[in-house]
Chain A
């Protein structure tokens, strides 16, 4: 069966520090991969999605970036964190057929101090 792993679960980082959140999927190949951010009590904001290795689409201009170095690995990064980057980050995958649901990781709670 397919599983998705996202880590770390919680992270406290100072302003100006770098960020790296990692997400991996097991049990499937060539998944579509997504990074979402959820502010407290709010909906999901799509940050990046990828339909293949090295293919990244950005939905929101910001100081975050994403990379997909391997088929089932998706990384969210920042060179210098801002206070406004605090939030709950969710990684998700779908099978790319356009007719199945997204499967979500456990999420990372990021607090920038």
Chain B
């Protein structure tokens, strides 16, 4: 079965600090892509970062980076220098074929 697990329903971080959101997934496919989406209170889904499974190098996007461990099927998101605007629900997802699979989300609170 294709599944995505985010084991942290809620996380909090002090402003300017670093936080890591966890994600594990289960797929039998060898070719897939992984994503982290951010959903702020407006509920607009915004792509944060993407990772190609065939690439060993971890993706980075400004203050956002991932730790991709393919063998362990782990795809965590690190947010550095957290800002108040980072407060949102974060969803881990992957695509294989035409199907996207999403986790249940982690609600991130940023404490001033």
Contact = CB atoms under 8 A, between A and B. Distances in A.
Nearest to B46: A104
Contacts of A92: 45, 100
B79 to A, nearest CB: 19
B45 A104 contact: yes
Interface in B14-62: 31, 33, 35, 43-45, 47, 50, 52
A101 B52 CA distance: 11
Give the size range of A's interface with the partner.
Answer: 20 to 34
A101 B35 contact: yes
- Give the dominant DSSP class at A's interface: strand
B103 A32 contact: no
Contacts of A107: 43-44
Given A38-B43, A101-B33, A101-B35, 5 more contacts: A46-B99, A92-B45, A94-B95, A98-B98, A102-B95
Interface of B: 31, 33, 35, 43-45, 47, 50, 52, 91, 93, 95-100, 102-105, 107
